[in-house]
Structure 1
């Protein structure tokens, strides 16, 4: 039945159907949501366990630390083991970790379980690398953009859904329901994911991990894009982690549901993910990066006006999410085009920097907010955004010829120019 469906379904590449792409996107969305459910719940968690406002950002930071560890030790296995088993196994273990979070009796149990949630959520990156492998080279950016759209939707719905469920049944209900949904996702993937050989590499696990480091030494494009990823997600995490603190306090005094609605304002990020992937395939990766970084910096001029106009802040949120997702998809499209034999390791290396940026932004924003208020958070985010733009401007020609050579000609034999 699966083979028949594969034959009749329209293909995005040599082995990636539209149906499979959508399933990948849904799975990525749910997995990434498990990381970001906590953002609008930080005040409720702080009250439940007696954690201070300055320290509650540690919940997000520890989740990102777990995510970073998963990127280093789990994602590279996608170039070594059968991805189907790896993905399904992570899904089952993730559901177990979510149950522990939902039933955590103490702060320490909660924090350890959140590390595990982050560790296992890296299934997202295994899926992204799998999609890039299955797609044809000419449609790789499109495939990555589509799957990443699921990530964007997961980011948005995580805040809205968690806020709504928390108002209805408390913050613990969020994680119990997510555990059930994660188990259903794992079962669905088990049924539809294509089978591979049990091993696609003869190297040892230790050599596989070492090869991730070697990719950074050998590929200057990876180094540049990794630093950009760190900076944009430091800014992104600083905003979303700290946002719940002023919105839940007077004079705003918003409910978790109302705070979660801010996530929906970033729906433009879905369009950015798709558009950036297609632009990368057409050779406009550097142009897309520069414009997006400029927009990211400009967004903070609107976001800082939180106490003056919520409507203006919503516009800033749209711009911020659009810009971050556009740079993120472009980063992945560019690095995945350089080494088709190492997709999982490339994604792992890049996403380690993403996780570091997210963790630093999360803990720094709550500390800064406790001392300097919302203006301090915006100064922090704007500083990271400005650093990203300056770094891009200084390195935009690095590896240009390599990028051009890596991407295939698109139509009628025309050459592909990826960096302009």
Structure 2
């Protein structure tokens, strides 16, 4: 009888390939943010119109998480990943020839729906790894996600400054084609599906989890609000940096994305903070840190160093908050871990789409102060949701003691 191979048996090189593939695929959601000024000039549209690319990318990723990721419980992961990556490669190649903004926007939705591959690979890695090695494997794959988000804007900005924005899409298409060949080879073959329920029932169970689990609802609210503020900042900061007193070109904007995103790498330490202080305290700290970072970039909006510091603080706040939220939901039901993550990530990236859309609208009318104010409102919503849950939990504890 054959046995299903585990990630441990695959060895460190194969795990590294999973991390690299995660970085390359998640980059498809973010690299377009550094290209928005060039896209606006090429199509002769406003910067606000061009930023719809970032908004629809976030929305497409959220749709992919909801509609595609649950299939990982009932489909062979290697075949599913191969089909997705081939489709993404074709859509990216078509985007490099897009004749107008509307077509590029539509293709962005398709690209990012198929880019949900890391959210299929990560639960698979968790389920096939021995408990004593699970943390290191998850950390490796998550680091790939952080590096993909961090480097995609920088490399795209630098490349577009020399080549233009269209070749960046073509290069991304080639990387996805290579990933479609390599990644399925290193993924383990699963003999039997985790569930045999129908696709409609699989999707229907997502709503049931959200309805039954208050901790899941809290994590969804916190994750979506924090990511809305994060997306509002990163969608419009290229426009802010392109204006006086900065006047940066695409390469300069790409370098800012690198310097401003290094704080996200500190997410490796968030797990230790959660073990020591608990996820609720880390969530509270992430909300406070995000508010401080946005206040800094709002007050010193013309200071490059202040923008870099604020961007790093915001990046770390988002990473720490997300890890705390996932620690909260993964403690609910091990048998539903993938679907819990599906619900959480869908809300998170839908929040990112709202943040990008809101910031785009406010940028056109109120500029950078309007964007910062909107992002702070998102953080205030997260603080209100957390406070309500905290007081409710305290009241329930007091009532139980009284009984």
TM-score by length of 1: 0.87
1:176: Cα distance to partner?
Answer: 0.6
Instruction: Single out whichever of 303-312 and 222-231 deviates more from structure 2.
Output: 303-312
TM-score by length of 2: 0.90
User: In the alignment, which of 251, 263, 270 is matched to residue 268 of structure 1?
Assistant: 263
Q: Which residue of 1 aligns with 2:401?
A: none
Where do residues 49-198 of structure 1 align in structure 2 (5 Å cutoff)?
A: 49-137=43-131, 140=134, 143-197=137-191
Q: Which residue of 1 aligns with 2:39?
A: 45
CA RMSD between the two structures = 2.3
**Contact map agreement 1:75 1:125 (CA 8 A) in 2:** yes
1:56: Cα distance to partner?
Answer: 2.0
Q: Which residue of 2 aligns with 1:303?
A: 297
User: In the alignment, which of 209, 213, 234 is matched to residue 203 of structure 2?
Assistant: 209
User: In the alignment, which of 229, 235, 248 is matched to residue 235 of structure 1?
Assistant: 229
Q: Residue by residue, what CA displacement relative to the aligned partner does 1:120-158 show, whole Å, maximum 9, x if unpaired? A: 111121122222222345665554343222111111111
User: Between Structure 1 and Structure 2, which shows a larger proportion of helix residues?
Assistant: 2
Corresponding pairs, count: 390
**Structure 2 gaps, min length 5:** 395-403
Q: Which residue of 1 aligns with 2:332?
A: 338
1:292: Cα distance to partner?
Answer: 1.6
**Contact map agreement 1:220 1:399 (CA 8 A) in 2:** no
Where do residues 210-225 of structure 1 align in structure 2 (5 Å cutoff)?
A: 210-225=204-219
Give yes or no for the alignment of 1:245 onto 2:239: yes
1:100: Cα distance to partner?
Answer: 1.0
Q: Which residue of 1 aligns with 2:288?
A: 294
In 2, Cα distance between equivalents of 1:148 and 1:397: 32
In 2, Cα distance between equivalents of 1:16 and 1:325: 28
Q: Which residue of 2 aligns with 1:412?
A: none
Q: Residues 141, 225 of structure 1: CA spacing in aligned structure 2 closer, same or farther, 3 A cutoff?
A: farther
Where do residues 273-288 of structure 1 align in structure 2 (5 Å cutoff)?
A: 274-280=268-274, 284-288=278-282
In 2, Cα distance between equivalents of 1:83 and 1:123: 10
Give yes or no for the alignment of 1:27 onto 2:21: yes
**Structure 1 gaps, min length 5:** 401-420
